[in-house]
Structure 1
Amino acid sequence: MGLMAASVCVAQQPGEGAGEVAAKSAWLTLTAGQKGEVMQFAEPYKDYLRHAKSAMLSEAELERLARGAGFAEYISAAQVKPGARLIIKNRGRAALFVVVGTDPIESGSRMVGSHEDSPHINLKSRPVIDAPGSMALLKTMPYGGIKRYQWANLPMALVGHIDTVDGRHIEVSIGFGAGEPVFVIADAAPHSDSQLRSRTYTTVFGGEEMNPVIGSIPGEKSTVAAEVMTALRARYKIHDEDLVSSELELVPATQPADVGIDGGLTGSWGQDDKLSAYTSVRALLDVKGTPKKTAMAYVTNFEETGSVNNTGAGSDFLDMAFTTLLDAQGKPATALGVRTAMRNAAVLSADCNDGVNPIFPGNSENSNSAVLGYGVTVKKYGAGFDPNSEFEARVLRVLDENHIAWQTQTPKVDVGGGGTIGGFLSRRNMEVLDIGIPLLSMHSTYEMSSKVDLWSYYRFMKAFYTME
């Protein structure tokens, strides 16, 4: 940990001299009462993760939490008035959560953007096939950056929905309930895998080999795959073609849990980046009263594949939402007015980042890499991807004034990198700073985050929403 000291900034505590910072774990800055608060804050987060097994399920859970905090779906301009708490929805896969401020939106706003999709495995349109060994398998496509070998020998659940041509919307969830079957990609046994041992780290499994078992019992006059399709038709009252108009994905059939005997870490699939989606919305729900500037949590989809499609950050949904809000504030929204509102918006692009790995520390550059337990990450990419220094200084002041632990992250040159939705927002002339908190085993089937980082992240977002 000592090697990391140069990159870590813990905000000065009362009584410390101006400009002094302590390069130490954020855990060591907590009072006994704050440590209890940190531990308690992680419990509803874990509950959210138990529900948010896909982007759509995450969206539904965030909306449920927001409605419980007094938010309502936007349906008319009459709702847009100071103090209003609104949800502008985008097809159930993305949304803008809004607390309307006293100032006109054109004069500026405070927004935290994140994404709620996570790496997983999708089904192909015609997924069920017969395979050697009297098995039926599911044909799949990887979604997002995954290491394929991590998904073998892993109990997986099937979640999503099927939309039928006769107008039915059928929810699918198999593998999380007690006694429900799971789906597993079969690895080769060490007794018979000599011809596979020359495969490299990233090619242990080929893309067309990521096929889990879905059935093993043949019929008297039919194959295993035919029996599986018969069972699916009967269970969901569908035709084979209905699988073409479905969104079905395989995710780990595990649940969130504490990691370590001290309970300082949360382990779960999908924390990148459901963690940022949850904290951004939760912080907005906890904003008290009516802020001066309109505060918004923008939750998007498809970031793991480039923020594509009409629910990704690359779509025009945000432009439409800003136009809607400006138009409702008493005058017709013009193209210039919308562009001015975006130009005056202050934005945090929130997304988790890779933390220093205790087993592979050489993958990180030790003076500028984020460490679990050291607080919020301020990301510095270089090459024109960073905000102007004036805006960054304003944001750092929020961290310092609220005594929130923070650190920096720059990927090791020529080793790797990252990026998220911030680029799509800065193209709209918004002021954008990329932030996050570090994870271990990022993009794996079971990621780990620090509870003190989660709590610091939430406190930062809540303070940012009311930043002057």
Structure 2
Amino acid sequence: MKQYGKLAFMVMAAWACAGAPAQAQDNAAPASVWAGKKSSWLALQGGQRDEVFRFAEQYKEYLAVARSPYTATAEAIRLAKAAGFTELTRPEQVKPGARLFLPARDRAVILAVIGQQPLVAGSHVVGTHHDSPHIALKARPVNGAARDGLALFNTVYYGGIKKYQWANVPLALTGRIDTTDGRTIPVSIGFNPADPVFVIGDAAPHADKDLRNRSYTEVFKGEELDPVAGSIPGEKSSVVAEVLRALKDKYRITEEDFVSADLHLVPATQPRDVGLDRGLVGSHGQDDRLSTYCALRALMDLEGTPAQTAIAYLSNFEEVGSVNNTGASSQLLNTAYARLVGGQKGAQYSELDLRTALRHAQVVSADTNDGISPLFPEATEATNAAKIGFGVTIKRYGGGFDANSEYTARIRAILDQASIPWQTHTPKVDVGTGGTIGRFMSQQEMEVIDMGVPLISMHSTFEMSSKVDVWNFYRFMKAFYAAR
């Protein structure tokens, strides 16, 4: 009996010793600070959760209206005017505390709250873009040859898309038509529940055997992204003629007016909450109208007169290289700075003043980034990828696209002082790429850092963002604008 008791004691002691390291490991601190990061939802205090959801509702209202650069610019200006901003038309308007906007051909806009210090001493800029991947109509937009009784829209896709994602999705037509008699005609068909929609039809699984060997990126080809525009012929006219007649009658245009039209097909779906907990916003166009809305709201909500001028730069055409005269590669931002600095300097203004103001500007190039996919995590390198709901993203691309270390430290300090959760993102080597409009501002010697928040299903017809990330990005921009 004594022998059995001694043996049992030894076994129990050995078991305890064997279990001790495991228990110690369970209680040990994470191996890395990044491993210890928690969801930003868990950092909310007091009534902040309610603030997050209120902000998300306002964001969804914006997304429901801002469907293209044209409508996004109009909505930004409408909101800005309601917040006390006026269009810059005279140099004497540029004085401390003034809230100004500078429109750019109805497709981009720059807004500013003039600071206490002159612009040559510095400014704080958030640069975004509010174009998104979509499908555009060609100049001769309707065809029906050999289409067995259907008329289709002729299209060309815009931006980086997975073409198959646009099939079988209700699409709306939005944009404008400009005529030779000076009219600008807004177009919007498909967003109202009573409107018709347009759909790119797929082949049935009963009949697609010859298509099944197409590659992942060629399930649909570019010339196959043509949605149904109509199906009823006239007694003496084709379906194509009837579709053209309907458009011409509705908008009082000629067929040649489509040459001077800017028409986009975008998902007709409305912004929605995703998940039983309603923690995500789902919508087309969050890349990058998410950043645009945060920049706009942060500027509108800025209290008092900042030490340095705060600027929101809402640009166009980023998804195709920031081209054209409303894209970030143009002189649009430089011209805006020249007007603002000229308003402050008067007759003594010089080119050197403009160069000095640009060199002393601090910029956040804001653009969403892809988050870790719950279904395809192998697409990212997990230890350096951003996670949905874990905060604002500092982007580190490598290859000369990163902000310098001292400016990055300054941004980190703003985030930490405002208690804003943040993380980093680096694309997988030899797989992902990076860089947005920041490179064009860097070329002007402006101090630039790329930041964003992660999305799931980026560039798809229905992207998803975390409401808490969107709210924290807005909070960061507001703190950045107010920084000294």
Coarse TM-score class (shorter-chain normalised): over 0.9
Counterpart CA distance in 1 for 2:173 and 2:234 is 24
SS for the counterpart of 1:182 is: coil
- 2: CA distance, partners of 1:362 / 1:247: 39
Distance in 2 separating the partners of 1:98 and 1:185 = 42
Show the counterpart of 1:255: 270
Quote the offset at 1:333 in angstroms.
2.5
Within 2, Cα distance between the matches of 1:218 and 1:428?
Answer: 57
User: What corresponds to 1:402 in structure 2?
Assistant: 418
2:392/2:453 contact within 8 Å kept: yes
Partner of 1:349: 365
Give SS of 1:367's match: helix
Please name the residue that 2:462 is paired with: 446
Q: Which blocks of at least 5 consecutive residues in structure 1 are unaligned?
A: 10-21
Q: Give the length in aligned residue pairs.
A: 453
Alignment map for 1:37-436 (pairs within 5 Å): 37-130=51-144, 131-331=146-346, 332-436=348-452
Q: SS where residue 126 of structure 1 aligns?
A: strand
Identity of aligned residues (%): 58
Give unmatched runs, 5+ long, in structure 2: 1-29
Quote the offset at 1:230 in angstroms.
Answer: 1.3
Aligned AA (1:246): A
AA in 2 matched with 1:325: L
Per-residue deviation at 1:57?
0.4
For residues 199 and 388 of structure 2, what CA distance do their matches in structure 1 show? 31
Q: In 2, Cα distance between the equivalents of 1:392 and 1:371?
A: 20
Instruction: Flag the 1:172–1:6 CA change in 2: closer, same or farther, 3 A.
Output: farther
Cα pair distance change 1:450/1:353, threshold 3 Å: same
Partners of 1:414 and 1:383 lie apart in 2 by 12
Matching residue of 2:24: none
Secondary structure of the residue aligned to 1:312 is coil
| TM-score, normalization by structure 2 | 0.92
User: Is the Cα–Cα contact under 8 Å of residues 8 and 406 in structure 1 kept in the other structure?
Assistant: no
Contact kept? 1:154, 1:252, Cα under 8 Å: yes
Runs of 4+ that moved beyond 6 A: none
CA separation of 1:5 and 1:91: change in aligned 2, threshold 3 A: farther
Cα distance in 2 between the residues matched to 1:153 and 1:361:
27
Q: Which amino acid aligns with 2:475?
A: R
Kept in 2, the 8 Å contact 1:5–1:367? The answer is: no
CA distance, structure 2, for counterparts of residue 254 and residue 27 of structure 1 = 27
CA distance in 2, matches of 1:322, 1:228: 47
Determine if contact 1:6/1:368 at 8 Å carries over to the other structure.
no
Q: Could you say what secondary structure the match of 1:329 adopts? A: helix
CA distance in 2, matches of 1:72, 1:7: 46
Matched-pair contact (CA < 8 Å) for 1:58–1:116: yes
C-alpha contact 1:8 1:408 (8 A) present in aligned 2: no
* Higher relative helix content: 2
Contact 1:115-1:277 within 8 A present in 2 as well:
yes
Per-residue displacement from partner, 1:118-149 (whole Å, max 9, x unpaired)? 00000000011114221000000000001110
In the superposition, the TM-score normalised over structure 1's length comes to 0.95
Q: CA deviation at 1:418?
A: 2.3
Letter in 1 for 2:89: I
Q: Is the 8 A contact 1:5 1:23 kept in 2?
A: no
Residues 148-168 of structure 1, C-alpha deviations (whole Å, 9 max, x = no match):
100001100000010011111
Alpha-carbon RMSD: 1.2
